[in-house]
């Protein structure tokens, strides 16, 4: 399914390069693994068993520039529903992050940002959990976009704004 040198997104690890495959003995059985190296952490190595469907589903090819453009053109104007119950909201937002769906990540970022601005206007702040999930979603999406677009991660929000005049990030 994936080849050596493919650039992929793996869960919350961000952009990785598949540096190869290898077999290892696991409890007396030879198991084949993908070897992933995170782009921003060359000292880290991730081994994903090729037969573990649940883990392999977390590996996604990095978007192309045209796929990013298409995503920005087609993003729904609808925010995610802001659930008042903290634990339910956390679970919903974590589910979005776990899914790795870029459109949903974009909606999540916009939803939390919108809520943050609303609270700020009323002299309040986001809960720490919401802020943490906001930063995690931003890191995943912005790091991938920065890699593909060959810009700095901190410049991604401005790039998105320049493409989507009616959305604030």
* Residue 74 pLDDT > 90: no
Helix (H) or strand (E) holding 22: strand 14-26
Is the pLDDT confidence value at 76 over 80?
A: no
Instruction: Please report which helix (H) or strand (E) contains residue 160, including its range.
Output: helix 156-163
CA distance 136 to 106: 12
Give the predicted TM-score (pTM) of the model.
Answer: 0.83
Decide if 139 contacts 7 (C-beta within 8 A).
no
pLDDT tens for residues 103-113?
A: 999 999 999 99
What are the structural domains of the chain? 7-61 (2.40.10.170), 65-163 (1.20.58.1290)
> What secondary structure does DSSP assign to 7-21, as a single string?
EEEEGGGEEEEEEEE
pLDDT in tens, 36-62: 999 988 899 999 999 999 999 999 999
Distance CA 107, CA 28 (A): 45
């Amino acid at each position: 399914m994936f080849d050596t040198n493919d650039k992929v997104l793996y869960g919350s690890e961000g952009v990785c390069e598949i540096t190869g495959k290898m077999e290892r003995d696991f409890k007396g059985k030879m198991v084949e693994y993908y070897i992933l190296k995170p782009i921003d952490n060359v000292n880290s190595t991730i081994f994903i068993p090729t037969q573990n469907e649940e883990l392999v589903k977390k590996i996604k090819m990095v978007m192309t520039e045209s796929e990013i453009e298409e995503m920005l053109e087609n993003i729904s104007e609808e925010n995610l529903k802001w659930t008042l119950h903290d634990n339910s909201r956390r679970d919903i937002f974590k589910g979005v992050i776990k899914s790795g769906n870029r459109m949903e990540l974009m909606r999540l970022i916009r939803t939390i940002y919108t809520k943050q601005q609303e609270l700020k206007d009323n002299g309040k702040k986001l809960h720490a959990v919401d802020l943490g999930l906001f930063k995690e979603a931003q890191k995943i999406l912005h790091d991938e976009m920065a890699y593909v677009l060959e810009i700095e991660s901190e410049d991604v929000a401005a790039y998105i704004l320049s493409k989507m005049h009616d959305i604030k990030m």
